[in-house]
Amino acid sequence: MTLDEIRAHLQALQARDLPSHGGRTLAYVYDSGLAEADAIGREALTMFADSNGLDPTAFPSLLAMENDLVAMAGGLLDAPAGFVGSVTSGGTESVLLAVLAARDDAGAAPRAASMVLPTTAHAAFHKAAHYFGVEPLLVDVDPRTFRADPGAMAAAVRDDTVLVVGSAPSYAQGIIDPIAELAAMAAERGLRCHVDACIGGWVLPHLDHLDRAQQWTFAVPGVTSISVDLHKYAYTPKGVSLLLHRDSTLRRGHFFASAAWPGYTMLNSTMQSTKSGGPLAAAWAVTRAIGIDGYAVLSRTAREATLAIARGVDGIPGLRVVAEPDSTLLALAADGSCDVFTIADEMLARGWYVQPQMAFRGMPATLHLTLSAATAPSVPEFLTALSEAVDAAQAAGPVSLDPALAGAAAALDPATLTDRDFDGLLALAGLAGGDDSLALPERMAPVNALLDIAPAPLREAMLLAFLDRLSRPS
Ligand SMILES: *Cc1c(COP(=O)(O)O)cnc(C)c1O
């Protein structure tokens, strides 16, 4: 291929993706709307794309930028003297490392361990449980407020518990857990308390609507670590999050060294070893370009957009905000007149991406909205589209599933299903793939409605089978 052909091909591929800019994709991407900040980020990304974070003595530039980012975060998160932090590749890695460090206290051998999670904790904690053999002790949140229940979480603590988790805010409903109570409960028992502020950590410090009971930073006694993603509300290119610990002893468990081979002594702060300096440099550049004052403006803009949408939704019959938003995230539920999955399809047809969330342990199926600053100018347009989408979804009525199918799905044990069974199930769900296996059905509502009624283990198994079939050499 010539360079021009390669370029054209890349552009054609990208044209099928959701747009990352323009403020109409309300999950996955974050748009500050600041072209200059984006430009300096890309410049830094390219400039350091080939640098290797494997060895901070070989690339001291990367260590310097990492320490700058950690210092900036410490200021935002009320970190005390003696705090430390590491740059990771994303929120999931930050969460994985927080769990690993809790399991393996400095120098100690891995031990049987458990962690107490509110049901609204991010799936990354379940991934950590799976990777590191730390048992998740799931505790239902208050069904009305979606807030973690400190009393019930205290009752769930076992002798082998090493960690108590809260979110600021949770992804699915955008609710801040009662961190002060959770952290006090953890401290009383000598346990760590991690605050997952992956999505809120760069926004909430600039907003002033939270009362004292909603504090969640290191100012709260007993909070031992906090995760915050820069590739979310710091509006930096993907691949950067931070994990901060109250002191360096708490971090030690996620550092790794190996001299047990004949090559260089491997010495890593995170899960990756060779790692590009690009995302880190980009984050350094973008955070400096926007600056604390800039983030304050962007945060207030995103918060106002969130509240304006919440007010607008109050005026759309059939749709409701499930909980007053604590930050810049919204979850919207439908009444029985239509379903959220059809609304999502109708929104996509109007050029807006909103993210379907399945029902879970008594929580309704919802649409998730992450509001970026760049969406603010088009809130009225968004609300018009939403109102039309609800009308269309009501005209169509809720997706109807064959009750026999629903019954069969509930009875299936994924552990006993063969590959052929999965082929059949995927075809039934409309996820069979064809010549072009990447072509999803035009309308996702029937697929989502079926996945929604599938018990969680079956949904996981079906989607894993789907992923397996997607991920094949072209
Ligand atoms: C996004 C998010 C994560 C996971 O972060 P990734 O960057 O997607 O790996 C964890 N917790 C919360 C609350 C999040 O919003």
pLDDT at position 434: 56
The larger pLDDT score, comparing residue 175 to residue 432, is at 175
Q: Taking residues 225-232, report their average pLDDT.
A: 98
- Cα of 366 vs centre of ligand 1, distance in Å, is 18
pLDDT at position 403: 82
Is 95 a pocket residue for ligand 1 (Cβ < 6 Å)?
Answer: yes
pLDDT at position 436: 54
Domains of the chain: 42-286 (3.40.640.10), 292-396 (3.90.1150.10), 403-470 (no CATH)
Mutate to test the pocket of ligand 1, among 94, 141, 199 (most ligand atoms within 8 A of CB): 199
pLDDT at position 102: 96
Atom of ligand 1 nearest to the CA of 93: 9
Q: Taking residues 448-452, report their average pLDDT.
A: 90
- The yes-or-no verdict on residue 174 having pLDDT over 60 is yes
pLDDT at position 439: 61
Is 243 a pocket residue for ligand 1 (Cβ < 6 Å)?
Answer: no
Mean pLDDT of the chain: 95
| Tens of pLDDT, residues 247-280 | 999 999 999 999 999 999 999 999 999 999 999 9
pLDDT at position 435: 54
Atom of ligand 1 nearest to the CA of 229: 7
- The yes-or-no verdict on residue 437 having pLDDT over 90 is no
Q: Taking residues 227-244, report their average pLDDT.
A: 98
pLDDT at position 10: 98
Q: Which of 345-354, 437-446, 462-471 comes out lowest in average pLDDT?
A: 437-446
Q: What is the 3-state secondary structure (H, E, C) of the chain?
A: CCHHHHHHHHHHHHCCCCCCCCCCECCCCCCCCCHHHHHHHHHHHHHCCCCECCCCCCCHHHHHHHHHHHHHHHHHCCCCCCCEEEEECCHHHHHHHHHHHHHCCCCCCCCCEEEEEECCCCHHHHHHHHHHCEEEEEECCCCCCCCCCHHHHHHHCCCCEEEEEEECCCCCCCCCCCHHHHHHHHHHCCCEEEEECCCCCCCHHHCCCCCHHHCCCCCCCCCCEEEEECCCCCCCCCCCEEEEECCHHHHHHHCEEECCCCCCCEEECCCCCCCECHHHHHHHHHHHHHHHHHHHHHHHHHHHHHHHHHHHHHCCCCEEECCCCCCCEEEEEECCCCCHHHHHHHHHHCCCECEEECCECCECCEEEEECCHHHHHHHHHHHHHHHHHHHHHHHHCCCCCCHHHHHHHHHCCHHHCCHHHHHHHHHHHCCCCCCCCCCCCCCCHHHHHHHHHCCHHHHHHHHHHHHHHHCCCC
Give the closest residue (by CA) to ligand 1 atom 6. 91
pLDDT at position 107: 63
- Cα of 92 vs centre of ligand 1, distance in Å, is 6
- The yes-or-no verdict on residue 438 having pLDDT over 60 is no
- Cα of 382 vs centre of ligand 1, distance in Å, is 25
The larger pLDDT score, comparing residue 469 to residue 152, is at 152
- Cα of 455 vs centre of ligand 1, distance in Å, is 23
Atom of ligand 1 nearest to the CA of 92: 9
Q: Taking residues 139-151, report their average pLDDT.
A: 97
| Tens of pLDDT, residues 177-188 | 999 999 999 999
| Tens of pLDDT, residues 68-116 | 999 999 999 999 999 999 999 999 999 999 999 999 976 667 778 999 9
- Cα of 236 vs centre of ligand 1, distance in Å, is 14
Is 125 a pocket residue for ligand 1 (Cβ < 6 Å)?
Answer: no
Q: How confident is the model at residue 430 (pLDDT cuts 50, 70, 90)?
A: confident
% of the chain residues with pLDDT over 90: 84
Mutate to test the pocket of ligand 1, among 29, 122, 170 (most ligand atoms within 8 A of CB): 122
Mutate to test the pocket of ligand 1, among 171, 198, 357, 368 (most ligand atoms within 8 A of CB): 198
% of the chain residues with pLDDT over 70: 98
Is 99 a pocket residue for ligand 1 (Cβ < 6 Å)?
Answer: no
pLDDT at position 407: 82
Mutate to test the pocket of ligand 1, among 229, 231, 243 (most ligand atoms within 8 A of CB): 229
pLDDT at position 404: 79
Atom of ligand 1 nearest to the CA of 170: 13
| Tens of pLDDT, residues 284-325 | 999 999 999 999 999 999 999 999 999 999 999 999 999 999
Q: Taking residues 28-33, report their average pLDDT.
A: 98
